[in-house]
Every structure is written in C-alpha cells, then in structure tokens.
Amino acid sequence: MTPNYYFTLFPMEALIASQHDPEHFGTYMATGSRDGSSDPLIFIAVDPSFPGFDWEYAKSECVPHPDGRPKNSVYLSIYRVLERIPLAALGDLYLTTRDGRTLALPKQAYVQSDPGPAFHVYQELCPVHPLVVSKLAPREFGQYITGAKTKLQLPKIAFADLKVVDFDNLENSGNIGSLYDRNIAHLKRCVESVTSGSPKATKTLERSHVESFTFNIIKSGIYLSDGTDMAVYPMPSLDELRARAYDWARSALII
C-alpha cells in the first residue's frame, strides 16, 4: 500500500505520510485514535515528486501494523514545511471539523473579482497566524507578504479570506463564530486605517489568532502563494454545501 502524503497547514505545520485516505486521515488527526483530541484541521494532499524530504524513510515506515491495520501517521517534518513544498505539488485541500468530518476543496485557478471589496480580512494560517485587515485582493496580498519589498517577508503564505461583519448591523452577522467578538472596535479602526487613502496596505488586527478561527467564517476560500504562483481553494456556496456536504456543514457550524 503506497503511503499518501499530507501537508497539514493548520493548526500545526507538518508533512505526514499516512496509509489513510483523506477522510480517514482527517478523522484520525481531528479526533485521535482514542479519546483525547477534538481539533479542526486543514491539510493538503501532496504529490511526492520533489526533493527535500526523506520519501524513502516514509515508504519504509508507513507500512501496516502487524495486525493489518493501516499506519495512521509517519511525520516527515514539522518545521518550515510550507516553504519547501512547491505549489505545483499540492493537490486538493481538506477541511476537517473538530468532530472529524472532512470536506474536500479542489484546487482551482485564481479569478480576480472585479471590482473587489474595499478591504479584506485575512486569517494567515501558515507559517504564521496573525489576523490582518488589508485593502489588497488575495493575489496582491500573497505577492505583498512574499515580496522582497516587505520587511517581514515570508517565503510562502497560506491564508483564508474571511467574512466581514456589517458595522451598521452587527446583530445580523450570520454564522461567523467568535472571531470578531472581542475586537470589533479595533477592526473598525483597522478598516479605516487601510481604506482612508493612506499608503498602508495591511493592518494587523491580532498578532496570533488561531483558537477562534472556525470554518464558518471563511468567505471566498483559502489561498497559498509564493509570490508568483497561487494555489486557490474556493469555498463552496451555502447552497452547494447543503446539496453535497450537509453533514460537514452542520459540523462546521455553517448550517
């Protein structure tokens, strides 16, 4: 049985070999083999056709248990993983809820919405986790973060484009979780900061923000960028979720 390779980008960065298919791998990682964990997970299938990792080690270790059970996981790396994986090697992305249900998001080409909104809120997912407000569209934001002009440059970035609340109608927010619960006033200031005509492209809303990130706040999708190329994983619409992923959407607190 050939191992599958998964790059987990949230909540921890790792490259893992496993004999499970993505659904089972997601359940195993989210809920553990026994009682213990209950964490959401974002991971991407990886085609092991590039150097930089010990694929032979993975093949030799990722073998069934003596009783025939498939091997759950063999960790190949847990440090600076994203920067070493070419975007072209990335396959489908999977969103696993904390109760272990997995939704596959196929990789697609980037489409610039025109005109885009005046600002975006991005949750950086890997390798760092700040929550930022930006007037840049996803492609430009990826280029900005990975560009040489940026003082705090990253080699690659994975981030999610998030839903934004209507400041004039906070009550009718929709199901977006707790991300903005404690920082609405600061969010307003950040939005003003990037939209008031100042040269500032992005403004940090929170420095590290992972605990309150939930799938129900993802708006257009999840993006990975190295500055030149982008891997885009659009989020299905509510109607699509109802039609093809109802159980997942319930577990993800969307429905």
Partner 1 sequence: MDVMLYSALVLGVISLSYALYRKSWIERQDPGNEKLQEISKNIRDGAMAFMVREYKVMVVVVVAVAALLIAFKTRPGGLNLRWIGLSFVLGAILSGLAGLIGMRAATRANACTANAAQKGLVPALHVAFTGGSVMGLSVVGLAVIGLSSLVLFYVRFLGVSADNPQSMIDLMEIVSGYSLGASSVALFARVGGGIFTKAADVGADLAGKVIQGIPEDDPRNPATIADNVGDNVGDVAGLGSDLCESYIASIIGAMVLGAEMLKSMTFMALPLGVASVGILSSIIGTFFVRTREGGNPRKALSLGTIGASVLMLVGVFFLLQVTLPDAAMEGVGFTRMGLFLAICAGLVGGVLVGLITEYYTADDTKAVMEVARQSQTGAATNIIAGIQVGMLATGWPVVVLVAAMLGAYHFAGLYGIAIAAVGMLGTTGIQLAIDAYGPIADNAGGLAEMSKMPAAVRERTDKLDAVGNTTAAIGKGFAIGSATLTALALFVAFKESAGLEVIDITKAKVMGGLLFGAMLPYVFTSFIMGAVGRAAFQMIEEVKRQFREIKGIMDGEGKPDYVSCVDIATKAAIREMILPSLAAVTLPVLVGGLGGTEMLGGVLVGVTASCVMLALFTANSGGAWDNAKKYIEGGHYGGKGSDAHKAAVVGDTVGDPFKDTAGPAMDIVLKLMSVVSLIIVKMGFVTNPLF
219 binds partner 1, rule: CB under 8 A: no
167 binds partner 1, rule: CB under 8 A: no
- 101: closest CA among 166, 31, 47? 31
What is d(CA 149, CA 147) in angstroms, rounded to the nearest whole number?
5
Q: Determine how β-strand 218-225 pairs with β-strand 4-10.
A: unpaired
Amino acid at 55: W
Stretch that binds partner 1, among 6-14, 104-112, 126-134, 238-246 (CB under 8 A): 238-246
Stretch that binds partner 1, among 2-10, 20-28, 56-64, 126-134 (CB under 8 A): 20-28
Q: How far apart are the first and last CA of the chain?
A: 37
77 binds partner 1, rule: CB under 8 A: no
72 binds partner 1, rule: CB under 8 A: no
Amino acid at 66: P
What is d(CA 73, CA 66) in angstroms, rounded to the nearest whole number?
15
DSSP 55: H
CB of residue 79 vs partner 1: minimum separation in angstroms?
29
CB of residue 65 vs partner 1: minimum separation in angstroms?
13
Residues 27-56 that bind partner 1 (CB under 8 A): 27-28, 30-31, 33-35, 38
- 206: closest CA among 154, 150, 130? 130
Q: Which chain residues interact with partner 1 by CB under 8 A?
A: 24, 27-28, 30-31, 33-35, 38, 97-100, 170-178, 180-182, 214, 216, 242-243, 246-247, 250-251, 253-254
